[in-house]
Amino acid sequence: MTPIRIPIQVLSPLVTLPEYATSGAAGMDLPAAVAIPVSLESGEFKLVACGFAMAVPEGYEAQIRPRSGLAARHGVTVLNAPGTIDSDYRGEVKVLLINHGSGPFVVTPGMRIAQLVVSPVTRVEWNRREALTATTRGGGGFGHTGS
């Protein structure tokens, strides 16, 4: 598979560019571009800089997703998961982290804090109808199929 080429601008001398940890990884690890450790108390959230901007091609988006290890070990995740970076955004990439753990969590310089997944975007046009086609499920929502 031929990778898409995305222009990237380094904004900080502290930046480590995102990269895939393994050949089968869907997401690139996003390191924190912070000069000093950033502490997150239990229940606290903060924007953490990644030190770069990028030009996602039209027809694509970049999603910022949590790292499962941080969530499982520390209760730290991305608050607005997944965070969306649109193709017309040119500002610095930042991660909105929240600490759901019981104690403080410290983000250290270069720590891998999230992952970045680039995906195609499907645009839709609404096709207004008076009624929708019937299904077995119908309007059954939350908990409809059991626990």
> Which structural domains are found in the chain, ordered by start?
8-120 (2.70.40.10)
- The answer on pLDDT for 90 being more than 90 is yes
Q: Confidence class of residue 2 from pLDDT cuts 50, 70 and 90?
A: confident
> In the prediction, which pLDDT does 137 show?
84
Average pLDDT over residues 48-58: 98
CB within 8 A of 78, min separation 6: which ones? 64, 65, 66, 95, 96, 97, 98, 114
As a whole number, mean pLDDT of residues 4-9 equals 96
Span 45-69, average pLDDT: 97
Going by pLDDT thresholds of 50, 70 and 90, the confidence category of residue 145 is: confident
Q: What are phi and psi of 68, to 5 degrees?
A: -60, -35
Whole-number pLDDT of residue 143: 75
In which region does residue 136 sit, left (phi positive, over 0), alpha (psi from -120 to 50) or beta (all else)?
alpha
Give pLDDT, residue 132: 92
Instruction: Give pTM, 2 decimals.
Output: 0.88
Using an 8 Å Cβ cutoff, are 51 and 11 in contact? yes
Q: Is 147 a residue whose pLDDT tops 70? A: no
Percentage of the chain lying above the pLDDT 70 cut:
99
**Regarding beta strands 76-78 and 94-99, do their DSSP bridges make them parallel or antiparallel, or are they unpaired?**
antiparallel
- Specify whether the CB–CB gap between 45 and 97 falls below 8 A: yes
pLDDT of 139 reads 84
Residue 90 Cα to chain centre, angstroms: 16
With a cut of 90, say whether residue 146 has pLDDT above it.
no
